Amino acid sequence: MRVLLVEDEANLAETVRRGLAAEGITVDVAPDGPSGYARARAGAYDVLVLDLMLPGRNGYEVCRDLRSAGVWTPVLVLSAKDGEYDQVDAFDLGADDYLTKPFSFPVLLARLRALHRRGAPERPVVLTAGDLVLDPGTRRVERAGEQITLTAREFALLEHLMRHRDEVLAKPDLLRAVWDPTVVSDPNVVEVYVRYLRRKIDVPYGRNAIQTVRGAGYRLAADGG
């Protein structure tokens, strides 16, 4: 296994490098964002370990830009920050796993091996349906080139519909995918949010992207309606 570690704390980088070397893992270290990005793009690595707070270009930007450039190497984010928001951000930007500093070496090793096994399947960053565009990385939605502001829940619902475009999705399935069913259990909440979404992405444009399939659920038209 070959790992690129993007980490500006030299002592930590060296400790991790030595520990992984003892496990037969080759580690290259990049000490800042720009060199990390360049090496990740150029080199053939099995896993990238990416610190978030980096000189030059932070880990969020490095991860997002790598995905935009079509680099699908699994990314494990390392960070001293431990807020839930930061984890969500990192995942939205294309990271695959997350470890908060200080972390235990055996845990890091186990996560790296798991990511290595998973490989690097291609995951398109930007979702499209006709002129409807949703970017999970930047959390932007556009219709016909115009930016649309959605709430977090509206965004999550639209993202799920777009990831499964042209499939009929039942209300209970949407509820499970987008809401916490232990908190929200009434499938009618899906209907309410579909209405909110239509008012933002369809009605003003005279379109019908989110189609009702009687008795079955909803379907997002692949052509954007």
Residue number, 1 or 53, with CB nearest to Ca ion: 53
What counts of helices (H) and strands (E) characterise the chain?
8, 11
Out of 53, 109, 120, 126, point to the residue binding Ca ion (CB under 5 A): 53
- Residue 51 Cβ, how far from Ca ion at the closest point, in Å? 4
Least Å from the CB of residue 33 to Ca ion? 10
- Paired tokens of 151: 């709430």
Q: Which stretch binds Ca ion (CB under 5 A): 8-16, 104-112, 158-166, 181-189?
A: 8-16
Sheet holding 140-143, edge to edge: 127-129, 132-135, 140-143, 146-148
Which residue, 24, 27, 34, is CA-closest to 13? 27
Between the alpha carbon of residue 8 and those of residues 54, 103, 106, the distances in Å are 6, 16, 22
Give the pairing type, strands 97-100 and 75-79: parallel
Q: Is 215 exposed, middle or buried (0-12, 13-18, 19+ CB in 10 A)?
A: exposed
Residue closest to Ca ion when measured from CB atoms: 53
Binding of Ca ion at residue 46 (CB under 5 A)?
no
Provide the minimum distance between the beta carbon of 42 and Ca ion in the complex, in angstroms, as a whole number.
22
CA torsion sign for 24, 30, 33, 35 is: negative
Q: Is the Cα torsion angle 25, 27, 33, 36 positive or negative in sign?
A: negative
Nearest to Ca ion of 52, 221 (CB atom): 52
Q: Which is nearer to Ca ion, 58 or 68 (CB)?
A: 58
Residue 73 vs 79, nearer CB to Ca ion: 79
Q: Is 218 helix (H, G, I), strand (E, B) or coil?
A: strand
Closer residue to Ca ion, CB minimum distance, 55 or 204: 55
**According to CB under 5 A, which one of 4, 29, 51, 77 is a site residue for Ca ion?**
51
Query: Where does this chain touch Ca ion (CB under 5 A) — which range of 3-11, 108-116, 142-150, 213-221?
Result: 3-11
Residue by residue, DSSP assigns 13-64 as HHHHHHHHHHTT-EEEEE-SHHHHHHHHHHS--SEEEEESS-SSS-HHHHHH
Count of residues of this chain found to bind Ca ion when the rule CB under 5 A is applied: 3
In contact, 196 and 204? CB cutoff 8 Å:
no
Nearer to Ca ion, 79 or 155 (CB): 79
Least distance to Ca ion from the beta carbon of 54, Å?
A: 6
Interface with Ca ion, residue 96, by CB under 5 A: no
Only segment of 47-55, 138-146, 159-167, 181-189 that touches Ca ion (CB under 5 A): 47-55
Question: Is residue 8 a contact point for Ca ion (CB under 5 A)?
Answer: yes
Contacting positions for Ca ion (CB under 5 A):
8, 51, 53
